[in-house]
A and B are shown apart, each in its own frame.
Chain A
Amino acid sequence: MSDLRELYQQVILDHNRKPRNFRRLTSPTQHAEGYNPLCGDRVTVEVALEDEVIRDIGFQGSGCAISKASASMMTAALKGKTVSEAEETFERFRAMLTANESNGEGAARLDKLAVFAGVREFPSRIKCATLPWHTIHAALAGQTEPVTTE
């Protein structure tokens, strides 16, 4: 059960049950779609940018608990951040999940997002956690093609 609780932490389960910013924006300046063809997870991320600052952010879609909680916590973490801060967080998040050596300092700076560190131990689920991040990365870059994790 310890592995199980490591992956499905209470915070993750809570965000899965009650996702934050799970809505459409009235006037997004950018948006992108993400799709994981392996498991069928879909996510759309919308952003309202103002002077390079994320004034508002929302997501829609369907997926497993990990992808939904990841999208929810991502939106909560990035609201009010600048584009370059968001990109930096994405890099750190990705490194936490995929780097060979776990980077304690990087994870610490991720704050609440560090609850996803347990996903590292589940290689088949890493893409579930990173899909929303790849999607916002594409949205901020103004990419129009849907993002896939493959």
Chain B
Amino acid sequence: MKMSWDVERIRKDFPILHEEVHGKPLVYLDNAATSQKPHVVIEALVDYYAKQNSNVHRGLHQLSERATEAYEGARTRIQRFLNAAHSREILFVRGTTEGINLVAQTYGRRAVGARDEVVITALEHHSNIVPWQMLCEEKQGTLRVVPINDAGEVDLEAYEALLGERTRLVAIAHVSNALGTILPVQRMIEAAHRRDIPVLVDGAQAAPHLRVDVQALGCDFYTFSGHKTYGPTGIGVLYGKTALLEQMPPFHGGGDMIKSVSFEKTVYNDLPYKFEAGTPHVAGAVGLGAALGYLEELGLERIAAYEHELLAYATARLSSLPGVRLIGTAREKAAVLSFVVEGVHAHDVGTILDLEGIAVRAGHHCAMPVMTRFDIAATTRASLALYNTHEEIDLLARGLGKVGEVFR
């Protein structure tokens, strides 16, 4: 795979990768937090504001038509990216967090009542825990959590046993942000569907790294963030099946989500506009469209293969370092390496690596229950992307050597 992947050429597409920090070339290994943006995305934003900016679905003038075309063009591109059946099933939201909250507050508030259950896994990011906790608290429902094993893999037997008469929704990550585990979402969706339970998939960590086909998966909702997918911040996507979206009440009220308004009665707009109140983040949508176009051009399968090879290399390098212990060793993994250094707190590791120009995340990764499960306070996390190199992994290993020197 290495020979067909010209990583040096790809790195030229990302201006920020040529920045220096603390006088050293930037080694950016914090991609699970947010990814960097290629020229095509930055240019799409500039171009939109320079040549197309206007409000959408409103003006009769030429600019508004251009803006509307760009915005709806991005929606169609996302539909193809996820292989959704219709573009009306693609809702623009601010990010994964808003996508999950939208489902909790609309679908969830209708479907979940007293003693009903929502099932999540022990791997979830706080954004796929707290909205369900809030819902369960309001409705006197119960949150059920599927346990994970020592490798960080979901216990499928326990999962199936948790699905019951009172389960109203399953909400699961496609890829764990803290450990990198790829969850067997297809099997989990099939198991839930055998009991007519709908499934939401949090795809924040999957969309930039794997081919996602919502029809093949069969999931009822799928949500991801633009900024982790090489696109802008403040834009994300919620996919929902038409039949479900149609029966759901709107999330926010306001302009654009209505057909007609009087003080006596308001008629809501059709999909997807029913869920897009107010002026949307048009430039963000256009930028996200450009980012997904960039990924399609490189090919998701090729991206996944390159990152997999890089992960294998990094796993071998880090495992050979004394005092370094990897947390999360699932058989199916995306390119995330979470680890602890014996006797050294993750924040000290993070600071020392930063001085070497290496950007990693140190902390609980918004997944405190995962830390509790492994009985640790925090980990250092290196998360890789399509532009990372084997040399950067070597620099990470050398930086960890420095950590050892300081704390010897």
Contacts and interface: CB of A to CB of B under 8 A. Distances in A.
Contacts of A38: 363
Contacts of B377: 40, 62
B345 interface: yes
A25 to B, nearest CB: 24
B178 to A, nearest CB: 13
Interface of A: 3-4, 7-8, 13, 38-40, 62-66, 122, 124-125, 128
B407 interface: yes
B265 interface: no
Nearest to A62: B377
A64 B347 contact: yes
- Which 8 A-B pairs rank lowest in CB-CB distance, beginning with the nearest? A64-B345, A64-B347, A40-B377, A65-B348, A64-B348, A4-B355, A39-B347, A8-B406
Contacts of A7: 351
B347 A125 contact: yes
Give the bracket for the number of chain B residues in contact with chain A: 10 to 19
A23 B345 CA distance: 20
Contacts of A40: 363-364, 371, 377-378
Interface of B: 22, 344-348, 351-352, 355, 362-364, 371, 377-378, 402, 406-407
A63 B351 contact: no
A124 B353 CA distance: 14
A65 B355 contact: no
A4 B347 contact: no
A40 B368 CA distance: 9
Given A40-B378, A64-B347, A66-B347, 9 more contacts: A4-B406, A8-B348, A39-B347, A39-B378, A40-B364, A64-B345, A65-B344, A65-B345, A65-B348
Contacts of B352: 4, 8
A150 B374 CA distance: 26
B169 to A, nearest CB: 29
